[in-house]
Every structure is written in structure tokens, then in C-alpha cells.
Amino acid sequence: MRLSAQSLWTVLLHLSVLVPQAHAIDVDATSPDSLKSAASDATYGAFMWYHGNETGQIPGAFPSKWWEGSALFAAALNYWHTTGDTTYNDEVSVGLQWQGGSKGDYMPSNYSSYLGNDDQMFWGLAAMSAAELKFPDRSSGYSWLSLAQGVFNTQKARWDTSSCGGGLRWQIFVYQAGYTMKNAVSNGGFFQLAARLARYTGSAEYLTWAEKAWDWSVSSPLVNNQTWNVADSTQCADNCANAGNVQWTYNYGIYLMGAAYMYNYTSDQKWLDATNGLLGTMFKTFFPHDNILEDITCEPREICNNNEILFKGLTSQWLSYTAILVPQTADQIWPKLQASGTAAGASCTGNGNNTCGVRWYQSKWDGWTGMEEEISASQVFSANLLKYATGTVGPVTAKTGGDSKSNPNAGEEGTSTSPHYSTITGGDKAGASILTIGFVCGWVGIMVFMLLGG
């Protein structure tokens, strides 16, 4: 559908603000200063699409694609952590808190009637990052750690043994089409969140659930611990006998990060084997162009939707933390992140204002424009910076300086998973395939944008 005149003018105004400071992003991935400059440009570009800090707007809200707010804030947290730039901290602090909802579990009433487990989980992971990076808790409201615990507790209660012997369904409510599926990113995300909570708090409950989520995943068609193939989804109707084997970077990355945390916390060889196994298949599958990360399912055909554009940015971050948490992997990971960061920088030459593209391997702007492209570029730049961050020895725990307040019962007391029947406006699912893609047609005094809606 064509953008309204008002929406078109808003986008043009945003882009016009960028023009005076336009310059090509020439990234030297071995230079912290170069990476900081690139990350600054890309993060600025991403926040040009954010309106939650404007009068009359809702902090952290993205009405048609709620989960993407978590990706924006996660990118900003890593940007702050690796550069020390506090420019976006207020927006992150307010928005990350606001969207926690009335029960501190990232089930806000405006969106809870159509959320998937993956949508909620990504906000929980962002809050967990805030706790691990010592992003200051707010003086009132929920702590970052308790928000992550709230997500864990509500998802633990949804663990479903009525089919497939366990696992989380993709979507939460029976009226949603994805309710009949169990998918990698929901279960991998729950595994990762439990692993991170176990390491941060030392609680045996989180460790037990991380083991449980992993063991179920490898017993299902989702994770093959012989070939280390990660499938996208499986159906409850046939008791998870088969898998939809579409390949996405983030399905691998989300399990990889969980395995890295588990190895860092337990030193169990099982988790080192899992880390190395997942990395090996990732490297063979998603780096077909000179060590440059690519989502092979959508990029070659230019069909990536907004969700899918975010996947390799998230994966870049998870790869960088894996290199820190499991130092044995660092020599394999950093060259690939450096090549990807350099190529991503070369893609950020669009519209005369550093607009970043999707297909980094082309090492030029490919004509795509959007918040998602900027977020992914920011993430790969910050991922490379993590190698150089002063004093970085890995995410903190409660024993190594973490001070976010714990609430093991967060999200439980008075919590209901019953649907709130507010108007459903549609909205992105973190693993959905039908979304809007933005294309840029040209810049000659004025930009003309077209959005193709699915």
C-alpha cells in the first residue's frame, strides 16, 4: 500500500535531517575509533524511526511490530556498553520499563492478545542484557533482572506437554494460527534466557529449566545434535514428527548463545561440544561470501521482510558474546565478524545520508531503507567493538558486580495468560513471514517511498 502524505512527509523530514552530516561509512573493523564512528551513525539512523519519546506517543511502542522495539533497545544497550555514549540511554530506560506491562512480564495489555512466546522473549532478553551490562535500574518500577524473571516465569508456566512431550508453542493463544506450532526461536530463546538467569543468579531452578529446554529441543526435530542442523519449526498435529527446515541465522544464534552461557557457567564439555557444533554449521551455512554473514533464505532473492532483516544483527551480537564467554571460539568468530562489519559499513552509503542496506556481501548500498537495516548495522559494529571494550570479561553476574534487583516470583502473583480482548490490529511476529518491506526508488530533491504490504 502507498504511504499516506503525512507518513511520507515524516519519513522525508527524518531523512532530510540526516543529509547535512552525510558521509560514507568506511569501516576498519580492527580500529575501535572507526567502529565507534560507524556504530554512532547507524544507531542514530535507527533512532530516527523511533517516536516513543515524542509528545503523545507511547514509550517503547511500535504499534504494528511490537517486538522490534526490543531489538532497537538491545542494539542501543550494546552501543552504550561498547562506546560509552549515553545519547540514547533515557529512551532505552523509559521504553524498556514502560513495555514491561502492569505485571512486569512484557505482556502489556495493548499487545498481549496477539503476542507469541518469541515476541515476549525478545523483550526479556533485552532486559537481561540491561542487567548483565549494569545498565542502571530505574528508581521506581521493575528492575531489569525482575523483568527477565517475569518473562521466564510466565513462559515456564506455558511449557506444553500435551503434544510432542514438551516445548513452547510459537504463539500463546489458541485462536492464533501459530498456536499449532513449536518453533526454534521460542524454545531457543527460553533456553537462552534460563541459561543467562542461571549464570547471573546461581539459582538451580534456572539451570534445571535450561537443561530441560535444551534436552527437549534435541529430542525434537528442531535441533540435531549430530549434524547441528537447526530447523525453524515443527507441528503439534503430527506430534512433532517432522520439521520445517527453513534456515535462519537467528535460530542457530539463539541456541549458540545459550550453549555459550551454559559452558561459561558450568564448564561442562557437553556445552562446549554444542557451542562448537552449532558454530561449525553456522559457518558453513551463513557465510558463503568471504566470511560475510548472510541470511541465505531471503537475501539472494531480495525478499527479506522487516523481521528477517533483523536476524543477522541479533546473530552478530550473539556471536561476539560467544567469543567472550567461550574464548576457545574467538579465533574463529572475530575474522567473520570483522569481514561482516567492514561489508556492512560499505552498504551504508544510501540516500546521501549513510542509509544502510540488507545484503552486506555486495559491499554497497542495495537500495533498501528502514529501521531494521540500521539496527542490524549498529549491532554488527557494536559486536566488533566488544573485542576492544575496556575491561570486558563477559556479562556480569550477581557475584561479579551485577546489582539489578532480583525477584524470583516476578510475573507470577496474580498473573493470568488469559487473552485480553482488545482490538487486534495485526502486528509482526518475530518469526512471521508476511511483513512490510521498504524500498527506496531515488533521491532527486525529494524521496519517493513505496511500502509493499503483505
In a domain, 345, yes or no: yes
Question: What was the pLDDT predicted at 448?
Answer: 33
Q: What percent helix, strand, coil does the chain show, rounded to 5?
A: 50, 5, 45
Closest CA to 362 of 349, 372, 351, 375: 349
| Spatial distance between the Cα atoms of 257 and 275, rounded to a whole number of angstroms | 8
Residue 10: pLDDT band with limits 50, 70, 90: very low
Res. 115: pLDDT tops 50: yes
Q: For the chain, what is the mean pLDDT?
A: 88
In a domain, 301, yes or no: yes
Within 10 Å of residue 10's Cβ, how many Cβ atoms? 14
Residue 445: pLDDT band with limits 50, 70, 90: very low
| Spatial distance between the Cα atoms of 305 and 428, rounded to a whole number of angstroms | 10
Res. 415: pLDDT tops 70: no
* Phi, psi of 318, deg, nearest 5: -65, -35
Question: What was the pLDDT predicted at 444?
Answer: 30
Residue 150's identity, in one-letter code, is G
Q: Which of 257-261, 403-407, 442-446 has the lowest mean pLDDT?
A: 442-446
212 CB-near residues (< 8 Å, 6+ apart) = 166
Question: What was the pLDDT predicted at 390?
Answer: 63
Set of cell numbers at residue 274: 554444542
Q: Which of 243-252, 268-277, 438-447 has the lowest mean pLDDT?
A: 438-447
| Spatial distance between the Cα atoms of 355 and 351, rounded to a whole number of angstroms | 6
What domain range is 413 assigned to?
5-417+435-452
Within 10 Å of residue 397's Cβ, how many Cβ atoms? 18
Beta-ladder partners of 452:
437
Closest CA to 184 of 121, 125, 227, 129: 121
Ranges of H-type helices in 348-428:
371-385
- Asked whether 189 and 169 are in contact (CB, 8 A), the reply is no
The DSSP call for residue 355 is B
In a domain, 276, yes or no: yes
- Asked whether 76 and 129 are in contact (CB, 8 A), the reply is no
Question: What was the pLDDT predicted at 362?
Answer: 96
CA separation, residue 453 to residues 11, 78, 433 (Å): 17, 31, 12
| Spatial distance between the Cα atoms of 7 and 111, rounded to a whole number of angstroms | 23
Residue-wise pLDDT tens digits, 179-198: 999 999 999 999 999 999 99
Residue 288's identity, in one-letter code, is P
What's CA 337's distance to the chain center, in Å? Answer: 17
Residue 391: pLDDT band with limits 50, 70, 90: low
Question: What was the pLDDT predicted at 63?
Answer: 82
Question: What was the pLDDT predicted at 35?
Answer: 97
N- to C-terminal Cα separation, the chain: 9
Ranges of H-type helices in 329-446:
330-347, 371-385
Residue 433: pLDDT band with limits 50, 70, 90: very low
- Asked whether 240 and 181 are in contact (CB, 8 A), the reply is no
Question: What was the pLDDT predicted at 25?
Answer: 78
Reported as type and span, the H/E element at residue 183 is strand 181-183
Helices 306-325 and 68-83, packing angle to 10 deg:
40
In a domain, 430, yes or no: no
Reported as type and span, the H/E element at residue 442 is strand 437-443
pTM, full prediction:
0.87
Res. 424: pLDDT tops 50: no
CATH number, domain containing residue 264: 1.50.10.20
In a domain, 21, yes or no: yes
In a domain, 235, yes or no: yes
Res. 9: pLDDT tops 50: no
Question: What was the pLDDT predicted at 389?
Answer: 84
In a domain, 405, yes or no: yes
Q: Average pLDDT, stretch 122-142?
A: 97
Total domain count for the chain? 1
In a domain, 81, yes or no: yes
Question: What was the pLDDT predicted at 392?
Answer: 60
**Cα-based torsion angle of the residue sequence 80, 86, 87, 89 in order, rounded to the nearest 10 degrees:** 80
